[in-house]
Amino acid sequence: METALEELRRLAAHAENRRTETGIPRLAMVQGKIPEHDLAAVYEPMINLILRGSKSMTVGDRTLHYDPATYFVMSVELPAVGSVHPAVTGEPYLAVSLTLDPKIIAELLASAPAAAGRESSQGFSVAPVTPELLGGWVRLLRLMEHPDDIPVLAPAYEREILYRVLQGPQGWMLRDIATPETALSRIHAAILWIRENFTQPLRIESLADRVAMSVSAFHRQFKAVTNMSPLQFQKTIRLMHARRLMVTEALSAASVSIRVGYESPSQFSREYSRLFGQSPVRDTADLAGAWRSAR
């Protein structure tokens, strides 16, 4: 597998320290030290493969660590705090990611054989990399050197990667997001609603009714998938959005707190400090300085 990893590192060598598009649909890469406020964000459903170094992802109170021996799958949009680390040799962190398209997965499921059963209900996990999976990534990234081939061959290689993940221990996560009326698909619909309306008051009964679940089942399934309650999920999205606004637009904590849905700036400051470890003013001053130096 080391030979495949070395080729992938060569192919992704021109990645920057922010999301770098490849010209291949849904495929992106990143390299080096990433600004901290970019790592605390709402992540799209994706498969993330580390090529060099390592990464930690914290969702709620659960933290997962992964490196080139494993890959990360996130099946729903989740607010998470990440941290990346260079290789032990000092070489910069390098990774590629494939955003998940439920329609493509659904088409693949129509012809894919049955795979391993469900291991849990969570919407994110880590699994061991296999030579077959790495082979699919190599073939997909090679298309960056042959852009004329992308329209014809990229869909086939993307399906190959998805197929390998479907056949692995986290395959159920992909199956559920592409299958209507599963608990995960209902929670996914609720997550999308919260993301689009995060500044509004959250009424659990109305949201549960919207996704055709009882309140108790909705609470239980939402926590199982996201590792957070619906209110914690909304709060985390509000605070992450506020943090980005304060860093990138130099807005004050008081004005941002109202903008993201808080009625009390003092409550906003308390919850912000609890999530990010220091007050909004001190945290965003540190982040803004790091962001300017990284640009």
C-alpha pair distances (Å), 184 with each of 1, 76, 216, 234, 279: 33, 8, 15, 18, 35
Which residue is it, tokens 């009964």?
Answer: 205
3-state helix, strand, coil in the chain (%, to 5): 50, 20, 30
Confidence of residue 243 (pLDDT cuts 50, 70, 90): very high
| Residue pLDDT, tens place only, 120-160 | 668 899 999 999 999 999 999 999 999 999 999 999 999 99
| Residue pLDDT, tens place only, 36-85 | 778 889 999 999 999 999 999 999 889 999 999 999 999 999 999 999 99
From 257, 236, 287, select the one nearest 77 (Cα to Cα).
236
State the chain's maximal CA–CA distance in angstroms.
55
| Residue pLDDT, tens place only, 85-111 | 999 999 999 999 999 999 999 999 888
Q: E strands of 160-241, at which residues? A: none
pLDDT of residue 232: 96
Question: What's the chain's average pLDDT?
Answer: 91
Statement: residue 117 has pLDDT above 90: no
pLDDT of residue 174: 87
Chain-centre distance for alpha carbon 255: 28
Statement: residue 115 has pLDDT above 70: no
pLDDT of residue 233: 96
Statement: residue 116 has pLDDT above 60: no
Output the pTM of the full model: 0.88
CA distance 285 to 66: 30
CA distance 228 to 234: 9
Query: Cβ of 14: how many Cβ atoms within 10 Å?
Result: 11
Higher pLDDT, 170 or 162: 162
